[in-house]
Amino acid sequence: MNPAEDLDILTQQEALLRFTAFNPDTAWQLGNRLRAALRAHNAGGPGEAPGATVEIELAGHLLFACATPGATPGQADWVRRKRNIVRRFARSSYAIGRTLERDGDTLESRHGLTLTDYAAHGGGFPLWIVDTGCVGSIIVSGLPQRDDHNLVVTTIAEHLGIAIPHLA
């Protein structure tokens, strides 16, 4: 798909994937779902693909973090940089990346942001609470960026029990 088509779907996902409430128990349940989905995606099983890292934060408080077997220390930095994108724009890190690609722009030229602190790659998703706004982030790093994004949104949708449009 081209960036404009992806952005239509990403915007719909961001509008639909909103919680009515979120607390440490919710983070634990969702984080464990993400970990299980990563393991099912062969992230970190014996002799399989490299591992991945998951982080869920709410209002600057880390509520869930884990790394599957095979995860690398560099993934923590990718998580931090994707989290910075979500915090700055209250959008998914993949949506920001696809917007920049569509417009032929970069984080640095458009927003003055450095790649050492920001990563507009898939896997970072805003944690929205209905009638409150963006209050945190849900981040996965370790798979190809489109797969990171798809894994996060699919897992959130399953947790919320709703259907969402998916990227091809």
125 in Cβ contact with 137 (< 8 Å) = yes
pLDDT band at 159 (very low <50, low <70, confident <90, very high): very high
Instruction: Identify the CATH homologous superfamily for domain 3-42+49-160.
Output: Haem-degrading domain (3.30.450.150)
Residue 40's pLDDT is what?
A: 85
Cβ atoms of 143 and 43 closer than 8 Å: yes
Q: What is the pTM of this model?
A: 0.94
| Residue range 131-153, pLDDT digits in tens | 999 999 999 999 999 999 999 99
* Surface-to-core class of residue 70, CB atoms within 10 Å of its CB (0-12 exposed, 13-18 middle, 19+ buried): middle
Which tokens is 122 given?
A: 């898939």
Point out the least confidently predicted range of 39-48, 55-64, 95-104: 39-48
Quick check: 43 pLDDT over 60?
no
Side by side, which strands form the sheet with 61-67? 18-19, 124-129, 133-141, 53-58, 61-67
Region 81-88: what's the mean pLDDT? 98
Q: Which uninterrupted H or E stretch holds 53?
A: strand 53-58
